[in-house]
């Protein structure tokens, strides 16, 4: 298995959607190829960051400032 094969299977590997033989080949390659290991680790971390991040709710003060600014801008919204 070559580096480009690893990259080709990377998404499925991280998804744990590969069949065991292919997975074993990739892990064997990762055991001796630092470059691919870095790519796999980095990609995995990136995926975890994306999966764990939720849109942050606006803090009330920011929400109020935004509301005030919109109210002033529109000039006719009162609440
Ligand atoms: Zn490699």
3-state secondary structure of 59: coil
Dihedral class, residue 18 (left if φ above 0, else alpha if ψ from -120 to 50, else beta): beta
Residue 38 Cα, ligand 1 centroid: separation in angstroms? 9
Q: For residue 79, what pLDDT is reported?
A: 52
The alpha carbon of 21 and the centre of ligand 1 are apart by a number of angstroms equal to 17
Distance from the CA of 33 to the center of ligand 1, in angstroms?
Answer: 5
- The domain locations on the chain are 3-74
- Enter the CATH code of domain 3-74: 1.10.10
Residues 6+ apart with CB under 8 A from 35: 3
pLDDT at 77: 53
What Rg do the C-alpha atoms of the chain give, in angstroms?
Answer: 23
Ligand 1: centre distance to CA 35 (Å): 6
pLDDT for the residue 78: 56
pLDDT confidence of residue 68: 86
Tens of pLDDT, residues 27-76: 999 999 999 999 998 988 888 777 777 666 777 887 888 888 888 877 76
pLDDT digits (tens, 9 = 90+) for 9-22: 998 998 888 999 99
Dihedral, 71, 72, 77, 78 alpha carbons, nearest 10: 80
């Amino acid at each position: 298995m070559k580096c480009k094969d690893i990259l080709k299977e990377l998404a499925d590997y991280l998804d744990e959607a590969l069949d065991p033989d292919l997975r074993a080949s990739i892990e064997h390659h990762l055991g001796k190829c630092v470059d691919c290991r870095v790519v796999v680790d980095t990609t995995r971390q990136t995926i975890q960051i994306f999966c764990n991040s939720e849109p942050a709710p606006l803090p009330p003060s920011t929400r109020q400032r935004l509301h005030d600014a919109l109210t002033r801008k529109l000039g006719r919204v009162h609440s």
